[in-house]
Structure 1
Amino acid sequence: MLFSYDPMLVVASVLVAIMASFTGLRLAGDLSALPAPARRIRIAEAACALGGGIWSMHFVGMLALRLPVSISYEALNTLSSVLVSILITGLGLSFVHMGERRLWRTAVSGTLIGLGIVTMHYIGMRAIGGNCLVEYGPAGILLSSGIAILSSIAVVQIAYRRRTLLQVSLAAVLLGITISSMHYTAMAFTRFIPVSELVGLAQPMIQDGYLALIVALAAFVVCGLFLLTALPLPAAGWIAAPAGAPIAAAFAAPEPQVASKPAAPKPAAPRAQPDAADKLRLPYEQGGLTFFLEAARITAIQAEGHYTRLYEGQESHFCPWSISKVEETVAGRNFLRTHRSFLVNLEHARAFQRKHDKVFLVVPGPEDNLVPVSRGHVPEVRKALGL
């Protein structure tokens, strides 16, 4: 059977895909600055937004389809398609954050997202019933799968190369077009065959066009609500400055309450001037703001892709600098490279430990408080510790 599309609903389906892609990628960015529990919640939100948006695009695209016979959609396969989409795309987004970002990890993540798109489509197509049978061409399956997987890999690479709004927006547009292209490419190789006996189907309570607009609007509202949850909250101590006041006034601490009978102030002891190491500060990002941490308080620094993680005791902070830039900045101070992925502040080194053929420094902060020392750096570390 020949079929056609409603142009307005096709445009709506593409916009839904782009909006859902932006929401999912935006929520899945800057996770390194969050603690582990909040990170897992944010990934779940991103998976729901992206997976649900992929399904919404598919559903609106199917409602845009115009066939000469009436069709229906089975509830179980329709529900399964959205759940599978959320699950597989969630795995793809999670895989990016499971360790140091490498090209192979980007490829696996993009492949999972692409497979989520393809799987959702064909499970959703199985829900079609009524007065036609559906056949798929092998060329369409291969071509649409290739579009979904290769484009998703490119999307992950673009979105996580630099976590700027422009990069995420470009990746979202590409992913939205990818989802739509995969859908309509697969549909171009799909055949609808009329059955011998027509089945009488009840008229839907809402016409397809109105239903598609309702689904599209609901997808935009849900994505908007998810994006609102990702807005940074004011940090502790942030105070709104009066109009016309200097910007620094917004960071000023509140004035303490004056007691009715204040005690006589004691003369303050003279304070030693901080040396150059105390003055050195490294930037870290949290909640959309950039803060600065004194280098002397940092116990260890770990590479995390193109970025780093600063450990301050048991707390960790996301630093936008690469480990090579950090090493260059702290050169000549108490920091020592112990491994290709680690710098250690020797002032905070508690112990030198051997485990079989491996060597570690015990430093507060990293996992198990152990920082690996590679074989090539062992002599230098021992010398610095006076061993």
Structure 2
Amino acid sequence: MVEVHYSPFLVGASVLVAVMAAFTSLRLTNGLRNLSVARRKVRIAQAAIALGGGIWSMHFIGMLAVTLPFLVSYDPLLTLSSALIAILITGCGLLLLHFGERTNLRILLSGTMTGIGIASMHYTGMAAISANCVVSYRSLGIVLSVLIAIAASTLAMWLAYSNRSLLRTAIGAVVLGLSISAMHYAAMLNTSFSQAVNFVAEPIPALDPQILAISVSLSAFVICGLFLLLAVPMEEADAPAEEPRLTEPEPATVNSRKSARAPNVSLSRAGKMVQPVKNSIPYEKEGTVRFMNTDRILAIESDGHYTKIRTDEDALFCPWSLSKVEKSQLADRFLKTHRRYLVNPAHINGLKKVGDQMFCYVGKAAELEVPVSRSRAKDLRNLLGV
């Protein structure tokens, strides 16, 4: 067994790369519920490449930080495989969080998959060492490093996703970046290196390891920066350009339509739309765009880039996103009980608690059960006086 030394400069660089990659990944996945499925998949793929590539870059720089008394070589196929493994597994973890209801169980599963991805990448990368060096591991070290990766990754995901904000995303990124680094160096502390019996003369590398490590670090930062810049116009595009434009039609059209329908509904025709009645929200039915008075609405449910208007009689497609409703002048008519629901307080007729989960009931003809998140339960109780 030989003595191993580390370059403090490269160790610090590896940690910075891991934190930057984690922040890029978490930032890219912010606001995905307002995107179409296709665009959501593209953004998740970018985030997986940023995170998986960052994990690989951190490992690569961390290995270049190691000083051994002899030269070693790496198997190209295994080295490439280690990067692909990190991207694939962390990508699956991100998919769990952005397709389906985001629960604590999903956050736990995502953190576990991310931790497994970090550990798999590390030990696959270590297996790529193919000449002059014999690597041996302590069983306790393997278990410890995997547990560190899973626990810290889960904590990072919980911090970043339990209440999305830029500050919590940054904190989650720091925790995730440190978990990647902690797993690597905990594993390295429990790894032994010795020179192979059959020593093979290796050519002196053309690049100094420190120069190579700096090049990899700069490349990782540039790639992450480009991904973040690409995300900016996509976020701006979330203000839906697909939503119908409200234009004033010809008076004759208005009068004919008003006489045919209830006063709280308006209809589009020939590319033009009736100015909506005050305190109303658009919905689509039978190929037309109409407007419903908020007094009739029980709840508004997020449905990706759009929403569903829930009434006593029906669930109607609405071209507005949940965030658009919240930003409109009608926001004060609804109470947000969950990240996917806005509820009309006038229609709430009951509360129910099952374990740690609370639900409220709205409507009369067919009661609608709406989840209430823990962070909003107190506000709802205060409003209802219970």
2:34 corresponds to: 33
Work out which of the residue numbers 308, 327, 331 in structure 2 matches 1:311. 308
Hey, what does 2:58 align to over in structure 1?
A: 57
Percent of aligned positions that are identical:
42
Over 3 Å counting, the alpha-carbon distance change for 1:298 and 1:47 in structure 2 is farther
Q: Name the count of aligned residue pairs.
A: 316
Q: Which residue does the alignment assign to 1:330?
A: 344
- Consecutive unaligned residues of structure 2, counting only runs of 5 or more, are 266-276, 283-291, 310-316, 327-334, 353-357, 370-386
Aligned to 2:73: 72
Q: How far off its partner does 1:71 sit?
A: 0.5
Aligned to 1:279: 279
Question: TM-score under structure 1 normalisation?
Answer: 0.70
Equivalent residue number for residue 89 of structure 2: 88
* CA distance in structure 1 between the aligned counterparts of 2:293 and 2:114, rounded to whole angstroms: 40
Deviation at 1:58, TM superposition (A): 0.4
The aligned counterpart of 2:151 is: 150
**1:266-296 CA-partner distances (Å, limit 9, x unpaired):** 9x98x99989x942779xxxxxxxxxx9847
Match in the other structure for 2:301: 302
Structure 1 residues 1-387: aligned runs within 5 Å = 1-231=2-232, 232-233=235-236, 278-279=278-279, 295=294, 301-302=300-301, 310-311=307-308, 313=317, 315=319, 317-319=321-323, 322-323=336-337, 330-332=344-346
Q: Read off the aligned partner of 1:42 and give its amino acid letter.
A: R
**AA paired with 1:301?**
I
Gaps of 5+ in 1: 239-252, 254-263, 283-292, 347-351, 353-360, 362-371, 375-387
Offset, 1:52:
0.6
Residue type at the aligned position of 2:55: I
Q: Deviations over 1:34-58 (max 9, x none)?
A: 1111111111111011011000000
Q: Secondary structure at the match of 1:29?
A: coil
Q: Which amino acid aligns with 1:317?
A: S
Q: Distance in 1 between matches of 2:340 and 2:199?
A: 71
Q: Tell me how large the CA RMSD over aligned residues is.
A: 4.1
Mapped to 1, the partners of 2:240 and 2:54 lie a distance apart of 38
Cα offsets for 1:201-247 (capped at 9, x unmatched): 11222111111111110000110111111113367899xxxxxxxxx
Return the letter of the residue paired with 1:126. A
Summarize the Cα distance change of 1:235–1:158 in structure 2 as closer, same or farther, 3 Å threshold.
closer
One-letter amino acid of the structure 1 residue matched with residue 63 of structure 2:
M
2:380 matched to which residue of 1?
none
1: CA distance, partners of 2:54 / 2:4: 25
Distance in 1, Cα, partners of 2:184 & 2:338: 43
Could you tell me how far apart the structure 2 residues matched to 1:303 and 1:236 are? 15
Do the aligned partners of residues 299 and 43 (structure 1) sit closer, same or farther apart at CA in structure 2, a change above 3 Å counting?
farther
Q: Does the 8 Å CA contact 2:52/2:90 hold for their aligned counterparts? A: yes
Distance in 2 separating the partners of 1:143 and 1:325: 36
User: Is contact 1:302–1:308 with CA below 8 Å preserved after alignment?
Assistant: no
Residue pair 2:83, 2:121 contacting (<8 A) in 1 also = yes
